[in-house]
Amino acid sequence: MLRIDAPAKINLALHITGQRADGYHLIDSLVVFAGLGDRISVELADKDGFHLDGPEAAALSSETASSNLVVRARDGLRDAARRSGIELPPVGIHLDKRLPVASGIGGGSADAAATIKALCRLWDYHPGPEVLARLALGLGADVPMCLDGKPLVARGIGEALTPVDLGFGLDLVIVNPRVGVSTPSVFSALEHRNNAPLPSPEGLDNKDRFVEWLRTTRNDLQPPAQRMFPAIGDCLSALQHAGARLARMSGSGASCFGVFDSAEAAHAAAAGLQQQKPGWFIAATRTTR
């Protein structure tokens, strides 16, 4: 059995810079990935199978297996191989769901990306980067960046990726008030779609300078999401009161993150918040480089 982590995606900044004629929004987003995440396991089997469990699995209990991004990633990769005359054997896939669903930290997208990487290794099937990029984008705008899995700036509709050499990890606390957010609804509530682009990142080798630069950036989806779901504001306030240097929503919400000075400070803040808000999802984590 082959196991691969599916790390949470954190949008440190998310600027909406326009909208295409087909309705897709254009973004500039600085993205990092965390030690926190789901886990995908794959193995050869007599027939295809998909098993779901984990602390956050109940939220997906009403979803059909065929609609899960993990299964769609498997089928898309197999179809790509068939077009090249390659028939790939059946596999069993297990998803250990640890991240909240519909929470703005890329759970489903990260799961799909991890499935693609795991099956390429298991099947010893290695299509070119163009095939993988096309498959990933077809599964969702966040899947290409999750397939990359390292600090980056995503532009276009999420497919144009530029690596960012971030010289340190960030100690974060992730908070979700157990509110499922519809990404299309938040985008529809945007008042302005042609906003200023993301400025060039600064302080990539100096954490203090980087955090100060990060304060000059935005998540343009945060105001409409907060209007629709006031609990997001509660999360931001809780993180600020817990000592976060910066608190912001990730993606389209409702998950928010707080940047802390150290791992010790993040874990202490998470422990305090868990006592105050036992019904929320709360976790301390560190971003990967």
Contact 19, 193 (CB under 8 A): yes
Q: Which of 142, 171, 220, 234 is catalytic?
A: 142
**Is 9 a catalytic site residue?**
yes
Q: Which of 5, 9, 28, 220 is catalytic?
A: 9
End-to-end Cα spacing for the chain: 27
Distances in Å between the Cα of 259 and the Cα atoms of 91, 195, 229 are 40, 25, 22
Tokens of 37: 């995440």
The whole-angstrom separation of Cα 15 and Cα 173 is: 22
Cα 258–Cα 269–Cα 257 angle in degrees, nearest 5: 15
Which residues have a catalytic role annotated? 9, 142
